[in-house]
A and B are shown apart, each in its own frame.
Chain A
Amino acid sequence: MILEGTVWKFGDNVDTDVIIPATYLVTTDYGELGKHCMEGLDPTFSEKVRPGDMIVAGKNFGCGSSREHAPMAIKGAGIACVLAESFARIFFRNAFNMGLTIFEAPNVSEAVQAGDQLSVNQDTGEIMDHTTGKRFLANPIPPFMQGLIEAGGLMSYVLKQRQG
């Protein structure tokens, strides 16, 4: 599937406290969490973002807490995909578990600007910046995690294995 959207840019080490401040961790409602997404860095982010938009960031995206509310808030805000130079490991794992599309995409944060129109091929990791005409290739998703996605997530995978 090909995702298309407008880019929102963030820097290195975007932490889970700015993605969703702890004061809002009293709900598991995607929409409500989404209203406060990125509040620590841009208080009006959730008002400006449109469904299908994408986040492009630098290294170590999602560092800090293990809160799954972070990928939930990003999804809840309508973001279709996060591209970063690298991800913190717990966030990386959580994003797959929560069904948020993410790609490690070398050089993208340097070359892509806020407001650029991007398309991302979810199956191949091919990224196209329609504003500049530049193309990129994301790192492949580890095979085991690809298997989790195909099984419909970790819980489905685990339950299928137990039945099998």
Chain B
Amino acid sequence: MPQTITEKILAAHAGRESVAPGELVTAQIDMALANDITAPIAIELFEKSQTPSVFDREKIALVPDHFVPNKDIRSATQVQIMRRFAKKYGIKYFFELGQMGIEHVLLPEQGLVLPGDVVVGADSHTCTYGALGAFATGLGSTDIAAAMITGEVWLKVPESMKLTYQGERQAWVTGKDLILYTIGDIGVDGARYKAMEFVGEAIEALSISDRMTMTNMAIEAGAKSGIMAPDQVALDYVRPRSNRSFQSHHSDPDALYEQERVYDVSEIEPQVAFPHLPENARPVSEVGTVPIDQAVIGSCTNGRIEDLRVAAQVLKGRTIARHVRLIVIPATPSIYRQALAEGLLEVFLAAGGIVSPPTCGPCLGGFMGILGPGERAVATTNRNFVGRMGHATSEVYLANPAVAAASAVLGRIGSPEAL
């Protein structure tokens, strides 16, 4: 029976020859993940179950990243719960401040996710790891508590959508623009319960960083997962980072898809998603005059070194508009050090921006850049819901790092071409 990459991975983890969409399977997991918002609930449930040990102390990752460095006493208490649990059960991958970064950037960087893996995380953007050819999906804390006991998860095999990207990208067009364009096309529930499989020459031409930006935002179309076949680029990324063996899977040529769409990327401009849904994507040339108070460059979507390089390329030798606040957030300590070594942080500071330690911070309205009433931000983050970055009357416009950087200089949303 012909199968998609998603079906093959789930079959392999369920001890089956093949699986079909709609079937319920119990899959062995390679990694269970939780953060400082979701782990405390999972830990409480785990402790209540009086289970003597976790299923595998090397297959659980606890990453305090949302409100870290602790923004207040209560968030500090949540991280204490994680720290004590990690110590008590010998959890290998608990990341203390200094090692910790934004979870979905950190885990691939540390070689903790490999092609063919099944990863479940108590964070909706767990789908990021699909860029490496893994099946990865977000769940709630209770599911992670159960997974920490059993090493398994129950899943309904999703239908797959095949999204093909052809042609060559225009200047300043990144993975962010391709995914915003796609969400604009299918809507925020256009892939509800489905696996979004991204294929085509334009995907193969993307860096791992840009690929992760795309799979990261599969959830913004309602998807269960986003996935890309592991090619040489993916293998070159994972091999130096891990000694663990893995299996690459690829969709059969005659695999069945729930739907197929083809995009010519040469027709796609940099995109800007207007409030208050990621589906409100428009080409940057059609944005009009939208003055901004703040620009945020970072997050699990766009906080990697490649993102910072693009932003610095735009900002080099320029100064941001006087009334604009620019916040740059390298996603992990090693990205921070790399940006420092390459002189990128100097560019951001010289332009009038500020550099934050790694954190999810403002993306979800946590801290480090909360918007006041009526304020407007352009952000390289993933959600622009009502009140997402602060006050209920504030607004978030989603864009790629080049557009966010250019907008900080312009004082309004615009393309680097407008500088």
Judged by a CB distance under 8 angstroms, whether B385 is at the interface is yes
The docked-state distance in angstroms from the alpha carbon of A94 to that of B38 is: 12
With beta carbons under 8 angstroms apart, the residue of A40, A59, A66, A69 that contacts B189 is A59
Cβ of B124 and Cβ of A86 under 8 Å apart?
no
Chain A residue nearest to B367 (CB atoms) is: A23
Cβ of A22 and Cβ of B365 under 8 Å apart?
yes
- 5 shortest interchain CB distances as A-B pairs: A26-B74, A97-B142, A94-B140, A60-B189, A22-B364
Chain B residue nearest to A43 (CB atoms) is: B392
The docked-state distance in angstroms from the alpha carbon of A47 to that of B173 is: 47
Q: Which residues of A contact B126 (CB under 8 A)?
A: 66
The docked-state distance in angstroms from the alpha carbon of A58 to that of B91 is: 42
The docked-state distance in angstroms from the alpha carbon of A153 to that of B45 is: 12
Cβ of A144 and Cβ of B24 under 8 Å apart?
yes
Cβ of B142 and Cβ of A18 under 8 Å apart?
no
Cβ of A144 and Cβ of B154 under 8 Å apart?
yes
Known: A17-B385, A60-B188, A89-B192. A66 touches B72 (CB 8 A): no
Cβ of B392 and Cβ of A66 under 8 Å apart?
no
Judged by a CB distance under 8 angstroms, whether B184 is at the interface is no
Interface residues on A, range: 35 or more
With beta carbons under 8 angstroms apart, the residue of B123, B192, B385 that contacts A66 is B123
Interface residues on B, range: 35 or more
What is B's interface to A at a CB cutoff of 8 Å?
Answer: 24, 37-38, 40-41, 44-45, 48-49, 66-67, 72, 74-75, 77-78, 121-124, 126, 138-143, 145-146, 149-150, 154, 188-189, 192-193, 219, 222, 224, 277, 364-366, 383, 385-388, 392
How close is A90's CB to chain B, nearest CB, in angstroms?
Answer: 5
Q: List 5 A-B contacts (CB under 8 A).
A: A15-B386, A22-B365, A28-B40, A65-B364, A93-B139
Known: A86-B192, A88-B222, A89-B192. A17 touches B149 (CB 8 A): no
Cβ of B224 and Cβ of A89 under 8 Å apart?
yes
The docked-state distance in angstroms from the alpha carbon of A15 to that of B385 is: 7
Cβ of A27 and Cβ of B74 under 8 Å apart?
yes
Cβ of B387 and Cβ of A18 under 8 Å apart?
yes
Cβ of A17 and Cβ of B40 under 8 Å apart?
no
With beta carbons under 8 angstroms apart, the residue of A27, A64, A158 that contacts B124 is A64
- As a 0/1 sequence over residues 40 to 78 of chain A, the CB contacts with chain B under 8 angstroms (1 = contact) are 110100000000000000011001111111000000000
